[in-house]
Homo-oligomer: A and B are copies of this chain.
Amino acid sequence: MTIPRTPGQRAGLSRQAVLTAARQLVADEGVDALTMRSLADRLGVHPNALYSHVAGKAELEEAVLDGLLADVRVPAGGGDWRTAVHALMRSTYDVLLAHPDVVPLYLGRGSRGENAQRLGAVMLELLGRGGVTGPSAVEAQSVLIVFTIGFAAFAARPGFEHQQPDARRARLDGNFDRGLAWLIDGIAGG
């Protein structure tokens, strides 16, 4: 596409440009449309050119996923730690549901990206303020993350997002809040 190039001519690509285009592609056409070839097409480049900026499709997807987490709102310092934990997970839930077709991709993988690590540190700090530290904190963290991603995946599951009147969605969100509260109760008490 665009301007034809001969071998040796550069297209002015960068890792950032590739990732940005990938996110737009996912936003525009869904996660299934994210292929190395379609992404290359969008960038006006041959598919194999992407490998100069990205290790492969797996790493690309990981970067796209972690990029989403940049939108998660971190609660301001101070205030009740339990409220803060709840708010943090609720924001994560909202961000995930803002990108329904990406959520399934989240489940099979860990989240080793920088945003995931940053949010993980915030969570541990909050738990620490509640006296939950060490192995217990890591365990609590796992439970909360699994619940949140799992619930988002449930709420965003195929054939569900299309027909969701506000009432249904609100009830689902309410369920999430209740389940989350139960877990935090358990973490605080146990």
Find the B residue at minimum CB distance from A187: B182
> In the bound complex, how far is the Cα of B147 from the Cα of A110, in angstroms?
17
Q: Is A49 part of the binding interface, using a Cβ–Cβ cutoff of 8 Å? A: no
Binds B, one of A16-24, A69-77, A152-160: A152-160
- Given A108-B158, A154-B146, is A179 in contact with B183 using a C-beta cutoff of 8 Å? yes
A:111-160 near B, CB below 8 Å: 135, 139, 142-143, 145-147, 149-151, 153-154, 157-160
For the A-B complex with A150-B150, A181-B186 known, give 16 more contacts whose Cβ atoms are closer than 8 Å: A104-B108, A107-B153, A110-B159, A135-B171, A139-B175, A139-B178, A142-B172, A143-B151, A146-B151, A150-B151, A178-B186, A178-B190, A182-B182, A182-B185, A182-B186, A182-B187
Seen from chain A, the residues whose Cβ lies within 8 Å of a Cβ on chain B are 104, 107-110, 135, 139, 142-143, 145-147, 149-151, 153-154, 157-160, 171-172, 175, 178-179, 181-183, 185-187, 190
Q: Can you name 11 A-B residue pairings with CB atoms under 8 Å?
A: A139-B175, A143-B151, A143-B175, A143-B178, A145-B154, A146-B154, A150-B150, A150-B153, A179-B186, A182-B186, A182-B187
